[in-house]
Amino acid sequence: MLVEDPRGIPNNLMPYITQVAVGRLPELNVYGHDYPTPDGSAIICLPIRDYIHVMDLADGDVVALEKFLQRNDIGCVAYNLGTGRGTSVLEMVAAFEKATGKKLPIKLCPRRPGDATAVYASTDKAERELGWKKDLAVGEELNLSRERVEKSAVEKATEKAPGEQPAEEIERPRWRCQKRRRRTISYRRMIQGSSHPEGEDRGRRQI
Ligand SMILES: O=c1ccn([C@@H]2O[C@H](COP(=O)(O)OP(=O)(O)O[C@H]3O[C@H](CO)[C@H](O)[C@H](O)[C@H]3O)[C@@H](O)[C@H]2O)c(=O)[nH]1
């Protein structure tokens, strides 16, 4: 998932990339550059994964919940939410560099034990039954990821010690994602206005 900012040194790719980009970590270790290509040719190929923005994932949850709230007899159904597309680590690095205009220092390293060569979702069922499809392009996802990290970096820089007086106002990056905010509001309305017997209580707990 894109848009993660854990404390300490991250294990996952995106938070590692963003921490290198803002200078918290010196370089990105790219694990594994000796994987086979699907056709068995000798070309070096990095492991591939399915990278989806957390807001697309949240939209998928909303449409699944909508379906559930409309029917009482739906039972347990599993849907894959992803882009349906495999992307390599170096493709992610290139997309990030394009979105931010910033060069990321990388180091090619041996494979990480336990890493699978290729993992990506089949999203046909979600598209067919929920009408859900990821709608952010990779560049847009990465812009949002960068905004999230910049915002968090400002918040960390302005954290106050107990008893400390308010510091001078620091300009915060503007959150440009008005479309997403509108969706969150309509999600709240949907839950609050639900006629499902449990809808109102569920909505109160989640908001
Ligand atoms: O510092 C790092 C961290 C990761 N990777 C590589 O990046 C890829 C993703 O590794 P992660 O640890 O981030 O994630 P997983 O392999 O557990 O994959 C899961 O998380 C991914 C996002 O981090 C995608 O969502 C993916 O579909 C999901 O299976 C792997 O090829 C890994 O070897 C690096 O090269 N350097």
| pTM, to two decimals | 0.68
Residue that the structure tokens 């915060």 belong to: 172
Which residue, judged by its Cα, is nearest atom 33 of ligand 1?
31
Could you please report the per-residue DSSP string of 119-162?
A: -----HHIIIII-------HHHHHHHHHHHHHHHHHHHHTPPPT
Ligand 1 centroid – CA 31 distance (Å): 9
Among 12, 31, 112, which residue has the most ligand 1 atoms within 8 Å of its CB, making it the best to mutate?
12
Structure ipTM: 0.92
109-159 pLDDT tens trace:
888 899 888 899 999 999 999 999 876 555 565 555 556 555 554 455 445
The arithmetic mean of pLDDT across residues 28-54, rounded, is 74
